[in-house]
Structure 1
């Protein structure tokens, strides 16, 4: 299943054996006839009450006389501890223990039994108590009221030493929340007592709310109050001391006016009116370390034909409302929908019907979220009882008493990636697997294997492009939370294809109004996200448009024999050297493919320009990040791009068992070479449209494989359309390795005439052939005659100096000889002093003889 639930705690395994051992010890000691040590055999009353911030789990159970026992499971030591016993038949509403385990707060109600008078307090329905339990001392009544009360100790970040003051929240069914300040002192060595038990200072935290959620990990209280029938979400942050702050207010377009009172994450809520709860809409708030703020909302639904739910992405400034078609009704359906937080994702599921994995970090495109409907594995693997998301990956099944760590199942996602046929699911799975981030090298290898098998299977997006962009992005994303605003995370800009069974409506929403001015940690990141939405509507994602213009400008100048300042070009090429050095340092394994074995200045220029432009882009928009860190991030990013291209090529090379002798041209191409040539062509297509650099040597290898694999007319078509680039290294190898058969002569000649003049002149020297001499001669003549002014000359010619009576040629050679003798500098040809009029004459005659077949 896409969601893997790893059990961190199970009442049946982590508590019951200890209880039975305790009972057996008491029976053996003679206490088995009765008293507090005797427990009922089936332990049906055993249930989890609360999970504290440090992971400790509080549970309760009763003996056969109805006495209520409180126990604690230490999450770190995996040990159980008995906290306290009430020797009365009471029912527990709520319970919490302070960090030092010296104070126990609990709310209790009278067990409903006929003929039993109220033993708590006349006129009260719920009694809230504060108990000194280290050692067991006094019991103080905090509340004796007719409404339910829930309790929750605050847990400060300070863990080094006990605090002199504890802070306790009292949450009342009458829609108010108070904070009590409890000072403690030590007497007689280790005996802890309440110092101010006569009067506990208290202050009102919130009131007139209809819904509240507790975030135990971050010590935050979210609640909703109604202002003129409008729902307003508020958040209070509690700090290590008694200080707390209202952080923001956010209007919600949800209807809660008739839904009653609902608490989330305040412990076991069995005593809240189940009939009212079943009519209450499902609403949860989720945050993560990147500064995201999501509100997930599902209204009541009467029809089982379809379910609608909404996610308000406050950190992005919009909401999305999803409508899922159920198709069929399953009798095993739970009472409602479940939302779970999974770091960069929110899981939404209804067992038996659907499992949705919503991308909250990049929610702009629906195809970045995964929608599974009617999948038997969804039905079989997920619990049918409701799960409660506690904090981070922790989720609790209150019914079974099991605490899980919810994780995305990479193995399942990869397997599903191989089997799915829908492009939207392929894209969502690819993004999801890469965002998981565990063992990225292994994941990339598996994804590359999948790409090589499905290279033409996607019609809505380019697999190679999406993999390169997404993997490069996630490789440096943890460096700073602003990367999602500055770097592209997908090759797609839009998605217009429908997703089966899902309809989507996107709307802009009002942003939260921050109520404080000094931000730290999460709040600083959230505020940064909100500021971006407010003031930076145009996307700041980096693209290579500037690099494209500058690169073409440099190449054009090079062809014209011009060059920008040597310092500028040297700096660009130095950037490329750093990239290649960084790449080689991170990849110590020897490469199979013959890459990085030539200079390839064009690709080095492209690399260096990308480093320069990307560095400038990040320096402009990343405030407060050191320049050295940004420079290293840029090097890592560009190195990653190149490394991924190398990995794809290496995997294909290894799969088809190619060897270095593939570069020898006097042999027939194999099916393996065709396959690798095809992969390289697809890589080239993917990188060209994004204007990404390629490893030096890529074009040389691609061209040589093209000569191997393609008929001449196809080869020339690829060259003329820019698919194959004729590098000097590739053409040099062709000239040297191909023999002078008629077929190879056509290949050589066709390629030479397509070379730039300067490169062509160099290459022609390597081919001792009439065609090569003819081309050299033409270039020589072109240079001599480009500034030639015709002069009147005598009709009498000295024929004795010419060995062949071919008057047009003789006349032309005479003109060349005159030009050469009058201005030797015009025909100076680097490395070829023997190119002169005589050479031109001999080349012309040889070429003519060859063409006539004489």
Structure 2
């Protein structure tokens, strides 16, 4: 009976092919096996074991099976010796030891068993074995006997129930520090559809001897009655049960608290009918199904929660068709349900095993052995592409166990056929391997999100995903992998800070998904929200209530959008071009935000490997404005909607989020840079482009495309590096086309390098001129002074004349021109220069054009003559 940890290459563990002689008790964490016979030795030493021996467990593996897993992780098991005596044992997951609890000297079948946290009391529900029942079938007697045993040391036995119906038992495990002998609470669940709670006090006698106080009058309380289905959540000490009504079923939840009280927390209507499906219990011990072949004939119902305040009810009705299977998931924390219909492929592929629902934290796995495996995203179930759907044709299905399983709290899974207990988890290496191998876009999307959500080492996973993106940059048709990675990874980097992040920050770049997934049909319906029956909430209940309040009152999505940042950024850039700018304090605050983000990013970079890509080497004011504006708007957005969270914490979250976003862009570029072994000399123009530079230029273009449509900031220096690579890699007409369409954005740093590094050959002159005429005026004036060429002088002259004549008022015409002041007899030019000279002579004009580096009418005249001679080829 091994307890093993999950698979090397699948989502949950494969039982393996171990023979019964290999069965050993292991901890639920999959630690090294204990020596066989430990439990047998404990049984021999514990007393009340006639004929017990050290090897009793060694010889009875086939009869050994798990009865229960308590809240503290301890496993209760049972086995029989060759005389039919029933032994109860406990495996302590802390000490890794087996302990004998009790022995019944009679051949009995155990229905249920539980031990209290102090290990002073054992509750067991038993029925006579098949052989004994045949002997006594004519004698009247009780079918089921429920006993309470004093086991510290073994003392008295009290009969709690002796009835003709089955009874299940379960001790409560409150999380409190108490004195050694507290009052124990025991739940009794009867097949007659009621649940009682027994309050049991124990006292010490004769030193260490523990006995039940007032064993003849144990107080009891009725917890629930007239139910048809019930589920026990051991980890959270919650009881879910169904109260059947005429047209629908009502799901109710009782919370057992640390003060040993219990409270009805909510009532939730379910559009399912269970009144005719018989009586069923979930997670009240590890009972084996008597007729597993009839599983598809009965409905399956499970309730799953997690720490984020989610509440999911998974339901599979009995199978009416061998061609398709239908199941529903009620996402109460989202306000809707989804009904999935999965085609089974062949009409002859009969379903002989039932559906298994497994709780995997942010996901619910839905598994039909041999047919399909679905991994449903319960945190973001809006789009079907965020969940994974594998059919029986997938190799993964063959790797998973083909026997029905049962899910317990804490991701424990019991294989009913083998009796093995597993810890199920999502295997990161296999998820990454699957991401590399799949060709379907919806599987890529689902795997990308699943890997980020369930990853234990974010830096490693991000590096692996970036490697995949760099190799598959053009392999996705239905979504942009760069966009999806940047948005999802930035979101998950701060998601643990508060449970409301899924409502306030975007987690996906995809807003709608209209592509059908073969073999799956989906129907989404709104559902009635649970009615909370209490008014003060803590921990999980506070988060669930917040989710329900959001569904009730916040139908419009509150996700942060960059539309406000886009408008404000364009406004600031427009003001800069016209020479106007709003208050210096406002702009300074925005730039200070950017400085904090970049400083935070550079501080984190110092810890990791130094970057090779030459970013952050310049003051890119436009990108700094964009970073600062995003920080400002995002902070205001979170402050409006995150009530009760400190302002400093929100500011730090925004800083981390913005830094993470820039860091991911840097990582993508850095990975490509290292892969192609580029060096800093790529920034110089005196060399030809290589294939590596073409590859990096392509990656940068895809990054720019991804961020532009989402209006996300880029690291300062990105546009400079992109433009320089573009000059290297593109023919002139393509380069100019990229510039004119905004793919390449000219920066002062990039153009300065171009002017300084390139000589004045005919080809380079054409390139320089084409670049200079496309520069904004405030940059063009600076750049032209670096280029000692007639074309540069011509451009400078044109800008100078444009400024002088902007407000020029024409004076009365005079035919008299003093020719003595001109060296060339070219009347139109002479008249024009005279006009410029007159304008420059005014004090107002001189004041307006101070600092123009000796650009005057004389300079304009010389530039005009040189340009004319150049055009005439003189």
Normalised-by-shorter TM-score class: over 0.9
Are positions 1:74 and 2:92 aligned together? Answer: yes
Residue number in structure 2 paired with 1:750: 770
Please give the secondary structure, in 1, of the residue aligned with 2:590: helix
Residue number in structure 1 paired with 2:712: 692
Please give the secondary structure, in 2, of the residue aligned with 1:113: helix
Q: 8 Å contact 1:487–1:541 — kept in the other structure?
A: yes
Are positions 1:13 and 2:24 aligned together? Answer: yes
CA drift of 1:135 comes to 0.5
Q: Distance in 1 between matches of 2:584 and 2:43?
A: 90
Are positions 1:780 and 2:800 aligned together? Answer: yes
CA 1:333 to 1:411, structure 2 compared with 1: closer, same or farther past 3 Å?
farther
| TM-score, normalised with respect to structure 1 | 0.96
Q: Distance in 1 between matches of 2:43 and 2:178?
A: 37
CA drift of 1:505 comes to 0.7
Structure 1 residues 67-216: aligned runs within 5 Å: 67-113=85-131, 123-159=141-177, 161-216=179-234
Structure 1 residues 606-645: aligned runs within 5 Å: 606-645=626-665
Q: Distance in 1 between matches of 2:92 and 2:560?
A: 49
**Structure 1: 5+ residue runs without aligned partners?**
none
Structure 1 residues 364-443: aligned runs within 5 Å: 364-443=382-461
Structure 1 residues 48-63: aligned runs within 5 Å: 48-63=66-81
CA 1:779 to 1:513, structure 2 compared with 1: closer, same or farther past 3 Å?
same
CA drift of 1:447 comes to 0.8
**Structure 2: 5+ residue runs without aligned partners?**
1-8, 27-32
CA drift of 1:349 comes to 1.0
Are positions 1:3 and 2:8 aligned together? Answer: no
Q: Distance in 2 between matches of 1:831 and 1:603?
A: 29
Q: 8 Å contact 1:168–1:180 — kept in the other structure?
A: yes
Q: Distance in 1 between matches of 2:644 and 2:417?
A: 48
How many residues align? The count is: 852
CA drift of 1:75 comes to 1.3
Are positions 1:655 and 2:670 aligned together? Answer: no
Q: 8 Å contact 2:39–2:100 — kept in the other structure?
A: no
Q: Distance in 1 between matches of 2:308 and 2:389?
A: 24
Q: Distance in 2 between matches of 1:815 and 1:505?
A: 79
Are positions 1:577 and 2:588 aligned together? Answer: no
CA drift of 1:393 comes to 1.7
Q: Distance in 2 between matches of 1:811 and 1:115?
A: 127
Q: 8 Å contact 1:38–1:64 — kept in the other structure?
A: no
Q: Deviations over 1:769-819 (max 9, x none)?
A: 101111111111111112222222432322222111111111111111122
Q: Distance in 2 between matches of 1:789 and 1:37?
A: 116
Q: 8 Å contact 1:333–1:384 — kept in the other structure?
A: no
Q: 8 Å contact 2:293–2:352 — kept in the other structure?
A: no
Q: Distance in 1 between matches of 2:858 and 2:416?
A: 99
Please give the secondary structure, in 1, of the residue aligned with 2:567: helix
Q: 8 Å contact 2:751–2:783 — kept in the other structure?
A: yes
Residue number in structure 2 paired with 1:494: 512
Q: Distance in 2 between matches of 1:633 and 1:656?
A: 35
Are positions 1:840 and 2:860 aligned together? Answer: yes
Structure 1 residues 696-775: aligned runs within 5 Å: 696-775=716-795
Are positions 1:345 and 2:356 aligned together? Answer: no
Please give the secondary structure, in 2, of the residue aligned with 1:573: helix
Q: 8 Å contact 2:249–2:271 — kept in the other structure?
A: yes
Q: Distance in 1 between matches of 2:441 and 2:293?
A: 43
Residue number in structure 1 paired with 2:327: 309
Q: 8 Å contact 2:85–2:103 — kept in the other structure?
A: yes
Please give the secondary structure, in 2, of the residue aligned with 1:490: coil
Q: 8 Å contact 2:412–2:421 — kept in the other structure?
A: yes
Q: Deviations over 1:230-288 (max 9, x none)?
A: 21111000012330000111111112121100000011333767688663201110000
Q: 8 Å contact 1:334–1:386 — kept in the other structure?
A: no
Q: Distance in 2 between matches of 1:143 and 1:433?
A: 50
Q: Distance in 1 between matches of 2:862 and 2:242?
A: 96
Residue number in structure 2 paired with 1:484: 502
Residue number in structure 2 paired with 1:820: 840
CA 1:761 to 1:827, structure 2 compared with 1: closer, same or farther past 3 Å?
farther
Q: Distance in 2 between matches of 1:555 and 1:653?
A: 31
Q: 8 Å contact 1:351–1:378 — kept in the other structure?
A: no
CA drift of 1:25 comes to 11
Q: Distance in 1 between matches of 2:599 and 2:106?
A: 74
CA drift of 1:617 comes to 0.4
Higher mean alpha-carbon deviation, 97-106 vs 36-45, is at 36-45
Q: Distance in 2 between matches of 1:275 and 1:334?
A: 6
Residue number in structure 2 paired with 1:236: 254
Are positions 1:247 and 2:290 aligned together? Answer: no
Q: Distance in 2 between matches of 1:718 and 1:98?
A: 74
Are positions 1:300 and 2:323 aligned together? Answer: no
Higher mean alpha-carbon deviation, 765-774 vs 789-798, is at 789-798
Q: Distance in 2 between matches of 1:640 and 1:38?
A: 59
Q: 8 Å contact 2:414–2:422 — kept in the other structure?
A: yes
Are positions 1:512 and 2:530 aligned together? Answer: yes
Q: 8 Å contact 2:390–2:397 — kept in the other structure?
A: no
CA drift of 1:403 comes to 1.9
Q: Distance in 2 between matches of 1:565 and 1:197?
A: 82
Q: Deviations over 1:118-174 (max 9, x none)?
A: 599953111110000000110001011111100000001014543420000000000
Q: Distance in 1 between matches of 2:351 and 2:601?
A: 53
Residue number in structure 2 paired with 1:806: 826
Q: 8 Å contact 1:334–1:350 — kept in the other structure?
A: no
Q: Distance in 2 between matches of 1:695 and 1:453?
A: 23
Please give the secondary structure, in 2, of the residue aligned with 1:14: coil
The alignment's C-alpha RMSD in Å is 2.4
Q: Deviations over 1:594-642 (max 9, x none)?
A: 1111111110010001000000100110111111110000000000000
Q: 8 Å contact 1:74–1:80 — kept in the other structure?
A: yes
CA 1:124 to 1:268, structure 2 compared with 1: closer, same or farther past 3 Å?
same
Q: 8 Å contact 1:48–1:398 — kept in the other structure?
A: no
Please give the secondary structure, in 2, of the residue aligned with 1:500: coil
Residue number in structure 2 paired with 1:534: 552
CA 1:811 to 1:19, structure 2 compared with 1: closer, same or farther past 3 Å?
closer
Structure 1 residues 218-229: aligned runs within 5 Å: 218-229=236-247
| TM-score, normalised with respect to structure 2 | 0.94
Q: 8 Å contact 1:572–1:608 — kept in the other structure?
A: yes
CA drift of 1:377 comes to 3.2
Q: 8 Å contact 1:352–1:376 — kept in the other structure?
A: no
Q: 8 Å contact 2:294–2:352 — kept in the other structure?
A: no
Q: 8 Å contact 1:223–1:235 — kept in the other structure?
A: yes
Residue number in structure 2 paired with 1:597: 617
Are positions 1:323 and 2:341 aligned together? Answer: yes
CA 1:323 to 1:729, structure 2 compared with 1: closer, same or farther past 3 Å?
same
Alignment counterpart, residue 280 of structure 1, candidates 294, 298, 308 = 298
CA drift of 1:839 comes to 0.7
CA drift of 1:563 comes to 0.9
CA 1:32 to 1:459, structure 2 compared with 1: closer, same or farther past 3 Å?
closer
CA 1:35 to 1:687, structure 2 compared with 1: closer, same or farther past 3 Å?
closer
Q: Deviations over 1:57-108 (max 9, x none)?
A: 1111111211111111111111101100111121111100000100000011
